[in-house]
Amino acid sequence: MGVGAGDVESPLLHALPAVRRTGTVWTAAAHIITGVVGSGVLSLAWSMAQLGWIAGPLAMLCFASITLVSTFLLCDCYRSPHPEFGPARNRSYLEAVHTTLGKSKAFLGGLFVQVGLYGTSIAYVVASDTSMRAIQKSNCYHKQGREAACEYEGTLYILLFGAVQLVLSQLPDFHNIQWLSILAAIMSFAYSIIGFALGFAQVIGNGYVKGTIAGVTAYSAADKLWKVSQAIGDIAFAFPYSLIVMEIQV
């Protein structure tokens, strides 16, 4: 999308070169699908099993509501001083904070953003390592049987994923990786459909829907607390859309 005649940039960007807005509805849709249907959905089935049929759906609704409210608030901060007519545009969360609350609050907000991105990056690295080792384990079980000792180290996958992140982080603009978001959107639909189909086939094979009100039983209270905490973290990880909504609008 091109810059309109009445559009101006945030005051924070006066020293920066003008950026031509090249996004389209299709690229924005790809970014949104990638953000909403992220890799976190793969662990939702396990998380629901740990939390049970009451706490599981409530946790999902809670994090979905937080994401929805955060998205609406961030969308209202994209233009300033008026949330709809602008005329100034804020390209990122930090610019919106700087424009709305001032320089000191922007510094504090930047600290929280960096901590959040650091935690998110760790979560994606761990998720990629877990996924690759799960593929290796699945292949090993198919070849050697379920009783085989199929354990693998994840250091190599962590290093490889970190190297890819390091390279992609050098790209100057979010929209320079449109091709990656389009590919990720296709993959998101693919693994979501595959996961649903496998779960549906399992229900048909069992003849009923498994699960309990309190979730899967554990060996001890500490083990149950750890699994519940991990399940809540996985559900929170499945709702990352508000992290990128400002960049999508650019």
3-state secondary structure of 16: coil
Q: In this structure, which amino acid lies at residue 20?
A: R
End-to-end, the C-alpha distance of the chain in Å comes to: 9
Task: Give the list of residues 6+ apart from residue 75 with CB closer than 8 angstroms, or none.
Answer: 83, 245, 249
Centroid of chain to Cα 182: 15
Q: In this structure, which amino acid lies at residue 129?
A: D
Give pTM, 2 decimals: 0.72
CA distances from 79 to 76, 188, 250 (A): 7, 30, 11
The answer to whether 45 and 127 have CB atoms below 8 angstroms apart is no
Opening angle at CA 159, ends 153 and 164, nearest 5: 135
Task: Give the list of residues 6+ apart from residue 174 with CB closer than 8 angstroms, or none.
Answer: 31, 244, 247, 248, 250
| Pairing outcome for strands 8-9 and 79-82 | unpaired
Residue 60 tokens, joined: 């999902």
Q: Which of 3, 80, 104 is nearest to 92 (CA)?
A: 80
The answer to whether 54 and 206 have CB atoms below 8 angstroms apart is no
What is d(CA 93, CA 108) in angstroms, rounded to the nearest whole number? 12
Q: How confident is the prediction along the chain (250 residues), in pLDDT tens digits per residue?
A: 444 444 555 555 444 455 566 667 777 777 777 777 777 787 888 888 899 889 999 999 999 899 889 888 888 888 877 777 778 888 778 888 888 888 888 888 888 888 888 888 888 888 888 888 888 888 888 888 877 788 888 888 888 888 888 887 777 666 666 777 778 778 878 888 888 888 888 888 888 888 788 888 888 888 889 889 988 988 888 887 777 787 777 6
Q: In this structure, which amino acid lies at residue 52?
A: G
Q: In what order do the strands lie in the sheet with 8-9?
A: 8-9, 86-89, 79-82
pLDDT of residue 80: 79
CA distances from 191 to 34, 48, 75, 167, 184 (A): 12, 18, 29, 25, 10
